[in-house]
Amino acid sequence: MKMTSRIVRSAQTASGTPAVMSRTDDRLTAFRNLFLLSLPAILVLLGGKTASADGVDVDESVLAAQNERIEVINGAAPSVVAVFGAAGGGGGSGVLISKDGFALTNFHVTEPCGDFMKCGLNDGKLYDAVIVGIDPTGDVALIKLLGRDDFPFSPLGDSDALSVGDSVYAMGNPFLLATDFSPTVTFGIVSGLHRYQYPEGSGKNLLEYTDCIQVDASINPGNSGGPLFNAKGEVVGINGRIMFEKRVRINSGVGYAISINQIKNFMGHLKSGRVVDHATLGATVATDWDGTIRFQQVSIDSEAYRRGIREGDELVSFAGRPIRSVNQFKNVLGIFPKGWKLPLTFRSGDQTASVQVRLQPLHQESELKFDKPELPDGHPAKAKQPKPPEEYADLLEKKDGFSNYYFNRQAQKRLLSGLKEWGDFGGAGASWGISGSLQNGSSYRITLTPKVAGLDVAERAAFLQPLTAADRLIDEPVGTGGLLAALHHLKLLLTEGSAGFADFYYLGTEPLDGTGPMIDILMAERAGTQTRFLFSVETGRFVGIDFRLDEFSDECEIRFAEPKQLSSRKFPQSFKARSGGETFATFAVEGLSVRAKSGENE
């Protein structure tokens, strides 16, 4: 059909939907350009100091600001990615965040592209890229560009340091115009902060933008997944949603970016190659008649309930932020992954309490399945499916619950190698004896064999945990969350590695005990229990265990001191055991005996 004279150009959005721009848009653009060209003359009339630039007198401060913008843009542009589906489907933008090729984009950009995609940089080259991890709820995906180990990248900034009115740059590939892979740049300000955008659509559309950044910098279809830079050229957000006028999918001056601080919280989980989920507290809040934020419902199965929170209690602060509205609570809760442990302060009557609460998953596992069914041989559509690049085919491993299990295996290897500091425990699985003294001076001995775990404390009865397949693991000693079962799992890790558990994977990162330094987590599941093995992100040192008998129980938390030499191996010089916020005991370790086979000591 012939176009009318009013329509002068069109383009395709990232999803392939046509978008049209009219002559009215051109007139507005022309007016803006005329104003910018006239600005130096206006400044002269206003009496500003001027400098000569191409024969036009321009105020020195204007030139300085312009040069600063150009310098920031030139520095950031090499890291901006134009994303294209390998078979021509989908497309959008992204940004490189590390020299080894990791890049951020939107989940809704990568989903139609498949597991492999093509990515262009402003060096004019097209690179292969593979999916790493996805966050369908937060609309974030992590991909890895391939073919180099020295990619240009941009540093991550602090989105919490933004203020309304700050200058920002949106860069990317609007309407997929970057055929030479050179990004489009738009300039604007932060229009609003901590915006909450309700989920859209139904079915598999889970996108929920929480605590996001509102900007007036032009963001159009194709900009999705691209970076929002602050005035220093740091990435402070990933551009995603746009507010459209009716029937016309072009920028209306209201765009939203996912805050980079939210993405930082999820970064370790995304690098795990998993399909990651957001969190719920297991409790809802509402505004009381006097403006107080109170708990409206509290699930009796939640950790919040076990920490003493009840309906009607006042929510004072969560994750270190004071809570003054329901919207603010949703914003804060939405920036954390499921399973994180975070501080919460509440008031019940005239008593105020501060507790640590482990967050529950927001969705059922079935809601997060995004794998497309495998087409049978001979199906017409199968011949059209792009094959992964042969040289990179081994970088993709499919597994339930994972977008790419290959990256999870790499993380497992990295963390397990850190256990070598303790020495070689391989094959030493017959029995262990750990002895020493408690903080009150009493002596103790822990025995770990394949059939039983025991704790003997001087002047006290012994504690026993049967370990045969028919025996259920229990909270022994009572109130510890299952200390003896947790130590049995420590023995399995050191002697058998991942083979000692029914399921074993890298979970991601979180702050130690809610407020401490970041830790890496290996998750092990066996006979209905879950064990988190904790490693320092900074040093790689094995620092503790969080063991849970079941989802309705408080964890047994074991924290290790620095290891010391004990015979031919190392073992923590002490460890502390606690559960439900109460410390059970601190064990000073003075002896370690290991028997590799029955009747044989090492």
| Residue 115: Cβ within 10 Å count | 18
pLDDT (0 to 100) of residue 203: 47
Position 459 pLDDT exceeds 50 = yes
Residue 308: strand, helix, or coil:
coil
pLDDT (0 to 100) of residue 16: 36
Task: Look at the block and give the residue holding tokens 């004990």.
Answer: 566
Give the pair of three-digit tokens for residue 601. 């000591």
pLDDT (0 to 100) of residue 10: 33
How far from each other are the two terminal CA atoms of the chain, in whole angstroms? Answer: 85
- Rounded distance, CA 116 to CA 125, Å? 17
Predicted TM-score (pTM) of the model is: 0.85
Give the pair of three-digit tokens for residue 103. 């890049």
Residues 534, 546 contacting (CB under 8 angstroms) = yes
User: Percentage of the chain with pLDDT > 70?
Assistant: 81
- Rounded distance, CA 103 to CA 144, Å? 6
Residue 435: strand, helix, or coil:
strand
Q: Which residue has the higher pLDDT, 429 or 405?
A: 405
Residue of 349, 356, 350 whose CA lies nearest to 304: 356
Q: How confident is the model at residue 522 (pLDDT cuts 50, 70, 90)?
A: very high
Architecture in CATH of 279-361? Roll (2.30)
pLDDT (0 to 100) of residue 377: 64
Residue of 115, 123, 128 whose CA lies nearest to 79: 123
Q: Which residue has the higher pLDDT, 589 or 207?
A: 589
Architecture in CATH of 66-277+363-403? Beta Barrel (2.40)
What average pLDDT does this structure show over 410-418?
Answer: 95
Q: What is the mean pLDDT of the chain?
A: 84
Contacts of 463 (CB under 8 A, 6+ apart): 454, 455, 456, 476, 477, 484
Q: What is the DSSP letter of 161?
A: G
- Rounded distance, CA 571 to CA 557, Å? 17
Question: CATH 2.50.20: which residues of the chain?
Answer: 410-595
pLDDT (0 to 100) of residue 242: 66
pLDDT (0 to 100) of residue 24: 41
Position 570 pLDDT exceeds 70 = yes
Residues 488, 467 contacting (CB under 8 angstroms) = yes
Question: CATH 2.40.10.120: which residues of the chain?
Answer: 66-277+363-403
Q: How confident is the model at residue 13 (pLDDT cuts 50, 70, 90)?
A: very low
Residues 220, 178 contacting (CB under 8 angstroms) = no
pLDDT (0 to 100) of residue 372: 59
Position 179 pLDDT exceeds 80 = no
Q: Which CATH number is 410-595's, of 2.160.20, 2.20.28, 4.10.320, 2.50.20? A: 2.50.20
What residues are paired with 53 via a beta bridge? 56
What average pLDDT does this structure show over 459-482?
Answer: 84
Q: What is the DSSP letter of 313?
A: P
pLDDT tens column, 225-276? 999 999 999 999 999 876 555 555 555 667 889 999 999 999 999 999 999 9
- Rounded distance, CA 167 to CA 66, Å? 13
Annotated catalytic residue, options 93, 224, 259, 302 = 224
Position 199 pLDDT exceeds 90 = no
Annotated catalytic residue, options 139, 277, 520, 546 = 139
Our answer to whether residue 354 is catalytic in this structure is no
Q: What is the DSSP letter of 496?
A: H
Residues 94, 119 contacting (CB under 8 angstroms) = yes
The count of residues in the chain is 602
Q: How confident is the model at residue 88 (pLDDT cuts 50, 70, 90)?
A: low
SS3 labels along 355-392: EEEECEECCCHHHHCCCCCCCCCCCCCHHHCCCCCHHH
Q: How confident is the model at residue 20 (pLDDT cuts 50, 70, 90)?
A: very low
pLDDT tens column, 212-221? 899 988 888 7
Measure Cα distances from 63 to 33, 44, 76, 546 in Å: 17, 13, 20, 58
- Rounded distance, CA 337 to CA 176, Å? 32
Which region holds residue 282: left if phi is over 0, alpha if psi is between -120 and 50, else beta?
left
- Rounded distance, CA 189 to CA 167, Å? 4
pLDDT (0 to 100) of residue 318: 96
Position 296 pLDDT exceeds 70 = yes
Our answer to whether residue 57 is catalytic in this structure is no
Residues 110, 89 contacting (CB under 8 angstroms) = no
Give the pair of three-digit tokens for residue 506. 């890298």
pLDDT (0 to 100) of residue 237: 95
Position 43 pLDDT exceeds 80 = no
Residue 179: strand, helix, or coil:
coil
Annotated catalytic residue, options 108, 278, 488, 489 = 108
Of the listed ranges 308-322, 375-389, 435-449, 557-571, the least confidently predicted one is 375-389
pLDDT (0 to 100) of residue 402: 95
Q: Which residue has the higher pLDDT, 196 or 135?
A: 135
Backbone angles phi, psi at 477, to 5 degrees: -60, 150
Give the pair of three-digit tokens for residue 466. 């049967």
Q: Angle at the Cα of 118 (from 113 to 124), degrees rounded to 5?
A: 145
- Diameter over CA atoms, the chain: 98
Of the listed ranges 95-99, 239-243, 401-405, 434-438, the least confidently predicted one is 239-243
pLDDT (0 to 100) of residue 96: 97
pLDDT (0 to 100) of residue 51: 53
Q: How confident is the model at residue 558 (pLDDT cuts 50, 70, 90)?
A: very high
Position 17 pLDDT exceeds 80 = no
Our answer to whether residue 489 is catalytic in this structure is no
- Rounded distance, CA 446 to CA 593, Å? 10
pLDDT (0 to 100) of residue 262: 95
- What is the DSSP code string of 530-596? EEEEEEETTT--EEEEEEESSTTSPPEEEEE--EEEETTEEEESEEEEEETTEEEEEEEEEEEEEES
Position 306 pLDDT exceeds 80 = yes
